[in-house]
Chains A and B, each alone.
Chain A
Amino acid sequence: MSTYMTGDIVAASCRGHPVEGIYITDRDGMAVLKLKSGYNIGVDQETCTLVRRAGDQPIPAVPTVVQDESLPELAIISTGGTIASKIDYRTGAVTSQFTADDILRAVPGLTTVARYRAEMLATILSENMTPSTWQALARAVHAAVTNGAEGVIVTHGTDTMSYSASALSFMLDTPSPVVFVGSQRSADRPSSDNVMNAMCAAAAARSDLGEVAVAMHATTNDDLCAVHRGTRVRKMHTSRRDAFQSHEMAPIATVAYPSLAVDLSPEAVRRGEAEPALHADLEERCGLLSSYPGMPEEAVKVYEDFKGLVIAGTGLGHVGSGCIEALREMIDAGTTVVMTSQCLHGRVCDRVYDTGRDLLAAGVVEGEDMLPETALTKLMWVLGNTADREEARRLMATNLKGEIRRRSDYGF
């Protein structure tokens, strides 16, 4: 622990040359000072002496956000992530606390699209999301929808945004748009995609859409956002702005930027088609296993106490023959096992090769053309809502929220 506090003015020696700066933090045993030029340098802790304490910093005047009361109301539910994160220029520390007001300050244009009611549900990185956060989120969204919000924007870290979007798709029936949005490039950079994504999400949340969706950059350009169905979207790139892609279907809408013109596809579920309903129960003891050549039986048996298991199999939906017996035993003991494909694109068919037929004989459910992650959230929801194994098998093979397509379209 350093004896200095952020903001203290400290004198030190940079290899014999005297320097003075604002103490920022410790970094790997060095004291990080901000020099007058704004540059940070790391100096030997031992050479530091206090010039003066930081004293009480004046609380910065935060500009108030003025909302246009004549505009329709949207709800913003924030869960964390980079869409409104920012940095303290004085200390160089990244702030993790932010309110929806902060989002409006970061993206001032939002106030021209709607007025907002804001709720901060969590400030967590999306890799730390759990099924119970999805449940809390589903309840918050349901409350916003039933309380008259014209649409809901959920700000979310991008890592697991598609899991949350698909989970909410199953947990919620919604007459109004529920739009997930995030940013791939952090909000503290002038080039962040947060501004355009948030503006397009707000436009989508006001539109005629009536389902759970994800709004993100359609391409690397700042000119169009794609709106994806919550059950058919997947993050397909670690860092690009257009990481989110619809699978085996076109996006359900596009939003042009900066005009914010929304173009709904014929397939999009329209506003008002459903009555609001919440079925928030989930069976958390479900797993997702990616098959690979030489995968030993033990890898499967890890899940033997689980209620459900989704396998991302190879090709048409296979695991090595050596794992089939273990799967049979698990299924006999009460685990529901669903087969999807790590190809991501295309439909599972376990009737073509011997291995597939053996899997079917063992009791594995074909997951049709569901994305593996969607199959996982669906399996949690199905097992959370029915105790009947046959009913669970039937539901897993039935399209509920657009996650299964009856036909594999060519050239959408």
Chain B
Amino acid sequence: MDFKALGLKAGIEIHQQLDTEEKLFCHCPTTLRETEEHTGEFVRYLHATVSEMGEVDRAAAEEMMNRRQFHYLTYDTTCLVENDEEPPAPMNPEALEIALQVARTFEMHPVEQVHTMRKLVIDGSNTSGFQRTAMVALAGVLPGDGEVETICLEEEAAQRVEGSTFSLDRLGIPLVEITTSPCMHTPEAVQETAKYIGMVLRSTGQVKRGLGTIRQDVNISIRDGARVEIKGVQELDLIAEVVRREVTRQVNLLAIRDELRARNASVGEVTHDVTALFTDTKSSILKRAKSILAVVLPGFAGLVGREVQPGRRLGTEISDYVKKCGLGGIFHTDELPAYGVTAEEVAALRAHLGVADEDAVILISGSKEKAACGAKQVRHRARLALEGVPEETRKMLDEGNTAYMRPLPGAARMYPETDVLPVTITDEHWAAVRVPELLSDLARRMEDELDLDPAVARQAAYSEHLPLFRMAVQAGIKPNLAARTVLGTLKELSRDGVAVDKIGDQDVLTVLTAVEKGEVAKEVIPDLLTEVAGGKTAAAAVADHAGGVSAEELAEIVEKIVAERIEFVQEKQMRALGPLMGVVMKEVRGKVDGKIVSEALRSEISRVI
């Protein structure tokens, strides 16, 4: 695809959780919990609030079509603020400082007086019905000709456990939201920019790491298409594919529009009750339904079933809208007969409605109220198909496809958070904000200063264990030893099921210092750390393995081991060295450096062969 020719414009919003002591608007810790640990629960409803202009935000209005009771889980690490039972605390200054550091990195203009707003979100993920958010700085630069439009400080939403149940541990964790202008024109550029911004964020050393702690929303449009916001792309490597598939979708929707217009297609204004036609149906879904409604789409035949993304059709898009009414989906004539609906039933339906072959019929089934809501949604989405690409907020599916979530919210969703006072950022404050060293710069510097291999330096700089690595180097540990242990050994042990979270930074330093002093051999580092993970103190682990093997004792051990395996040694000659290393090392219990053991073995083997 020639993205430039298609007029691709893309921007990203990156949401990154901050690793602060406390949440953004209360004094709870930013700790995630297991849902089984919850200590309480409660239920609430949310109501779309009407502005004085009589307006309800369109996204909020759609959410209200299917009114639900929300269920919330509370913990001993959450408080009345998360429960929406107490006014918020002032904005967390630690979070603001991190946002300002990022703003300085992008050479942005900080807002002089920061105002907290309420962004209406009534899908239940915020107990209050809104997300608190504040614009902190604007207009920054990205490498190349990119532009960061704004940086906002927001509170994280509650985690959906299932259905309408949410867990309040995550609610209120500070997030920075970085929004770029629609300055990217290829899928790869979007992915590269996301990667760069992620690196800048991690350079502060104060962001959360791990799955779900960073999310990308991608804004995409092509010429004649429409702005579509794709929420929650968690894997960086999928971003380019998401962009490609959205471009594909918009191209296909435009082609469908052109075809519909050429056919002079339209949307039937009447909803037909066809419940009676299906009284003896074999389709379990239709049989169960109290009400079966039909909407006729003249000129749509064949196009409802046309693919817009791999495995997704225009019919799927219509179905997504219908799901907003609490229904499972639709049947359409492009896919029938199927799902227990027979060819005879389809023929009867067509005859009953008096529709032509080039017309499509959509069936909506469910309770009376929900089916009526669904029919309205079918007509709404079908009309949008005649116009082309609707402006939408969409969610990620597997492999880079997307599904409809809600309309793009309007400006009516923002109003001031009257419970939080504005925060002034003075010139002095701004001037004193630390500019973090970029990890990319740090990697180059460590490569030079610590004489590390470029790949190792980069790995160290980008690792979440960077602080420990730096501490070790500071303590006089050789950089390569520190890197191998911190970046390699710990990960390997974790893979082998060792409880590495029980190993403190100080434990690692104690072990590495002992190795550096020659008290224990570096080969026993994994054993020592495993023992520490098992509950032993680092000092005790070191002591158990330290000292006591003199050169004479080593010579004796080596001589004995070689003598016991003399046939093997004579057969393998010098190649016996490798296998015997392990035996000797086990005998000396790691108290002698591998290099010394190797030399002793080598001289003993050459003596006997």
Size class of the contact patch on chain A: 35 or more
Segment among A28-36, A111-119, A344-352 that sits at the interface with chain B: A28-36
Q: Is B110 an interface residue (CB 8 A)?
A: yes
B416 touches A92 (CB 8 A): yes
| Among B43, B111, B134: residue with most chain A CB under 10 A | B111
* Chain B stretch 442-470: residues in CB contact (< 8 A) with chain A: none
Chain B residues near A36 (CB, 8 Å)? 411
B562 to chain A, nearest CB (A): 76
Query: Which one of B52, B112, B411 lies within 8 Å of A43 (CB-CB)?
Result: B112
Residue of A nearest to B121 (CB): A190
Q: Is A146 an interface residue (CB 8 A)?
A: no
A88 touches B47 (CB 8 A): no
B482 to chain A, nearest CB (A): 42
B84 touches A39 (CB 8 A): no
B47 touches A39 (CB 8 A): no
Segment among B125-133, B287-295, B381-389 that sits at the interface with chain A: B125-133
Known A42-B111, A87-B52: A239·B138 in contact at CB below 8 Å:
no
Chain A residues near B403 (CB, 8 Å)? none
B413 touches A38 (CB 8 A): yes
Q: Is A86 an interface residue (CB 8 A)?
A: yes
B45 touches A195 (CB 8 A): yes
Query: Which one of A39, A89, A187, A220 lies within 8 Å of B85 (CB-CB)?
Result: A220
Residues of B that sit less than 8 Å from A by CB: 42-55, 60, 69, 80, 83-87, 109-115, 117-120, 122, 127-130, 133-135, 138-139, 150, 152, 411-416, 418, 422, 424, 430
Residues of A that sit less than 8 Å from B by CB: 14-17, 19, 27-28, 30, 32, 35-44, 60-63, 86-90, 92, 94-95, 105-106, 184-192, 195-196, 219-223, 238-241, 258
A32 touches B113 (CB 8 A): yes
B47 to chain A, nearest CB (A): 5
A41 touches B114 (CB 8 A): yes
B113 touches A27 (CB 8 A): yes
B415 touches A87 (CB 8 A): yes
Residue of A nearest to B83 (CB): A220
A190 touches B48 (CB 8 A): yes
Residue of A nearest to B414 (CB): A38
Residue of A nearest to B423 (CB): A42
Chain B residues near A186 (CB, 8 Å)? 418
B46 touches A39 (CB 8 A): no
B112 touches A222 (CB 8 A): no
A239 touches B49 (CB 8 A): no
B416 touches A40 (CB 8 A): yes
A221 touches B43 (CB 8 A): yes
Query: Which one of B43, B54, B130, B152 lies within 8 Å of A222 (CB-CB)?
Result: B43
B45 touches A188 (CB 8 A): no
Chain B residues near A28 (CB, 8 Å)? 113, 422, 424
B157 to chain A, nearest CB (A): 14
A42 touches B128 (CB 8 A): no
A86 touches B50 (CB 8 A): yes
A220 touches B42 (CB 8 A): yes
Bound CA–CA A95/B44 (angstroms): 26
B115 touches A106 (CB 8 A): no
B113 touches A30 (CB 8 A): yes
Chain B residues near A221 (CB, 8 Å)? 42-44
Chain A residues near B80 (CB, 8 Å)? 239-240
A42 touches B112 (CB 8 A): yes
A226 to chain B, nearest CB (A): 16
